Structure 1
Amino acid sequence: MSGVFLALAWRLPLLVLTLAASGWGALALHFRGPEHAAVRWALIALWLAAGVATLVTVALPRAPASLWIGPGLFVFSILVFAGWWQGIQPSHDRDWADDVARLLKADIDGDIVTLENVRNFDWRSRSDFDARWETRRYDLTQLQRADLVVSYWMGPAIAHTLVSFGFDDGRQLVFSVEVRRTHGQEFSALGGFFRQSELVLVAADERDIVRTRSNVRDEQVYIYPVAMPREELRSLFRAYVDEAQQLEREPRFYNTLLSNCTTIVYDMVKRIVPGLPWDYRLLLSGYLPDYIYDLGALDTRQPFAELQRRGYINERAIASDVDGHASPAFSAAIRAGVPVPERPPGD
């Protein structure tokens, strides 16, 4: 009996590890393997065949010596795979999709921030748009407010998070951490675990980046004004500028779990507000507004459900269109009836 137990003690972990390596490697080859489909699927088949041979050999109580060729090949394949995987590095030089084709460039001189490649597209459909890239200057002493914008595209738990900054002259600028897709590439949450795409920071006009979600993609979009002192707002804006400059110097991969539209914002805010607690709602980004509310960073004078109801913008956004195009009054229209939190004392 003890011999059986000892046999299982080393076989079970090895079986689990082999299963995990087989599945993970097959997915990695699927998302980052050779572009030629036939070659990619041939490599996946060979990888899985070596994995199956290893599973069979380990599972057999007395496997013939000839069967151990399979595990040997699998171990060799793992070593080759590890070298290939380490060689996959993020890049700025790929055939990017039009809406993420340009990298945001930022320069800051005191309180004056100059942003190059601010996106201001006019969207008629996902594939039909007028492309405009602009250079804009902002005075941080005129920064007045920030809004959390949450766009639901896959159920209540998953949403895209954006932050919109408002200035005294009425201008709004939105920052959005996004997947930098190549031409023809579709976003895959699973692919985000396997270095499928780089990460990009987009700075855009609300008539572009918010309207395309509410009016064109039919996502469910909510806006929540944030209760933050002006100095912290400026620090958050500067943090986005730092992020843009870092990405310009060193490209990074998007990661569905660790480096996405919510976790990066959390990392930036944590530098401004030390001790900011971690919460599962940072991973289930659809519940992020509820987390922000619990921190007291939204208008807590009324229940969260009321903020959510009044923050839903789709009907107002669609009604604001003029002949199928974005209205100059888009930003004002989507904020109609949205409660604004009280400013901190002395701000």
Structure 2
Amino acid sequence: MTAGRLASTIGWICLSALVIAPLTVWAAMALWFRLPAPEWARAAAAGVFVILGLATVLALFRRGRWVALSVYALAFAGVVVWWGTIQPPAGGDWAPDVARQTTGTIDGDTLTLSDVRDFDWRTDNDFTGRWSKRSYDLSTLKTLDLFLAYWAGPEMAHVIMSFGFEDGDYLAWSVEVRRERNSQFSPIADAFKSHTLIYLATTERDSVHLRSNVRGEDVRLYRLSTP
């Protein structure tokens, strides 16, 4: 094998491993999790794309590779275009703790928020729900804390940002998966738009206590040094 041919072969191997393989895995999983079709049809669509990816890799080492690459690129572009059309649902039978989303207005230094969550958690399924409307004087903002709640070992943590005011009140912001009542939480499925995300303003007694005391997660607090 000549040096030029060896370099070409190495190049096609790198293209297969670093580009085609990850794109194929992503597209197949996107079709499996989000294609609006019965389970058998989603499995078939994902399988067809995997076969297309494998066929494209094999074709790279034969004549006609550019035709195979063109077909693959068009198929992947179609998946990307479809993916961009997926919109979050306007409504649903949401779980009680994510049934509302915080909204607010600012008037001068006064921040007024509607639907601030302040649940009294006893267990994950036993709680007293409270949503309230609250106002905060931004001129009295004093501290900013970062909470990391490790719920799946040291590799994965939930982030909460908590703003402290001079009167001792704390406003904690948490990005939550908005699931329906009977749906299951799955980090992999949720990475493929199986659920939407919402921003929730909560009290620390709600979101932090839930994770540290109720769920027993490893929760760490970092006081940030920032103006």
Q: Smaller-chain TM-score range?
A: 0.7 to 0.9
- Alignment check: 8 A CA contact 2:148 2:219 kept: yes
What does 1:153-302 correspond to in 2, within 5 Å?
Answer: 153-183=151-181, 184-188=183-187, 190-191=188-189, 193-228=191-226, 232=227
Instruction: Give the 3 Å change call, closer, same or farther, for CA 218–72 of structure 1 in structure 2.
Output: same
Structure 2 residue identity aligned to 1:41? A
Which residue is equivalent to 1:8?
A: 9
Structure 2 residue identity aligned to 1:186? F
Distance in 2 between residues matched to 1:159 and 1:215, nearest whole Å: 16
Instruction: Give the 3 Å change call, closer, same or farther, for CA 56–106 of structure 1 in structure 2.
Output: same
Could you tell me how far 1:29 is from its partner in structure 2?
1.9
Instruction: Give the 3 Å change call, closer, same or farther, for CA 227–52 of structure 1 in structure 2.
Output: closer
Could you tell me how far 1:92 is from its partner in structure 2?
4.8
Which residue is equivalent to 2:57?
A: 55
- Alignment check: 8 A CA contact 2:141 2:164 kept: yes
Distance in 1 between residues matched to 2:165 and 2:150, nearest whole Å: 26
Task: Give the total of aligned pairs.
Answer: 224
SS at match of 1:56: helix
Could you tell me how far 1:9 is from its partner in structure 2?
5.8
SS at match of 2:132: strand
- Alignment check: 8 A CA contact 2:32 2:45 kept: no
What does 1:20-59 correspond to in 2, within 5 Å?
Answer: 20-34=22-36, 36-59=38-61
Which residue is equivalent to 1:88?
A: 86
Gaps (5+ residues) in structure 2?
A: none
Could you tell me how far 1:210 is from its partner in structure 2?
0.9
Gaps (5+ residues) in structure 1?
A: 233-347
Which residue is equivalent to 1:97?
A: 95
Distance in 2 between residues matched to 1:206 and 1:110, nearest whole Å: 25
Q: TM-score, normalised by structure 2?
A: 0.80
SS at match of 1:149: strand
- Alignment check: 8 A CA contact 2:33 2:42 kept: no
Structure 1 or 2: more helix by fraction: 1
Identity among equivalent positions (%) equals 39
Structure 1 or 2: more strand by fraction: 2
Instruction: Give the 3 Å change call, closer, same or farther, for CA 42–127 of structure 1 in structure 2.
Output: farther
Distance in 2 between residues matched to 1:151 and 1:179, nearest whole Å: 15
Could you tell me how far 1:71 is from its partner in structure 2?
6.5
Deviations along 1:15-63, one digit per CA (max 9) or x if unpaired, are 333323221211222333336322211111111122222233334x46x
Instruction: Give the 3 Å change call, closer, same or farther, for CA 40–128 of structure 1 in structure 2.
Output: farther
Instruction: Tell me how large the CA RMSD over aligned residues is.
Output: 3.1
Distance in 1 between residues matched to 2:59 and 2:143, nearest whole Å: 64
